[in-house]
Amino acid sequence: MAVASAAAKRMTMPEIKDRAKELGIVPGKMKKAELIHAIQIAEGCTPCYGRSNGQCPWQECCWRADCFTTKA
C-alpha cells in the first residue's frame, strides 16, 4: 500500500482520479469509495477504505485521514 503521513491532507477527487489513471483504472462515474477500493485492489491491498469501524492497524495509510469518516 502506498503510504503517507497519517496527518496528510485528504485527497481530492481529481487527485484520486489521477492516481487511479496511473494504475490503469478508468474512473468513469465511480463514487469515491468505489474508486479508492479499485486503487487498493490494483496496489495489492485489501479494499478496506470506509469499512474499518475505527479499527485499523495501518497508521501510515494515505487514505486514513478520510477513512474513518466514510461509510462504504
* pLDDT of 1 above 80: no
pLDDT in tens, 16-72: 999 999 999 999 999 999 999 999 999 999 999 998 887 888 888 889 888 888 776
Is 59 a domain residue?
A: yes
Is 20 a domain residue?
A: yes
Tell me, what's the pLDDT at 3?
A: 46
DSSP per position, 9-47: PPPPHHHHHHHHHHTT---TT--HHHHHHHHHHHTT---
**pLDDT bracket for residue 4 (50, 70, 90):** very low
Tell me, what's the pLDDT at 64?
A: 85
Which three cell numbers, joined as nine digits, stand for 54?
Answer: 475505527
Is 17 a domain residue?
A: yes
Q: How many domains is the chain built from?
A: 1
pTM (predicted TM-score): 0.81
Structural domain including 42 reads 13-67
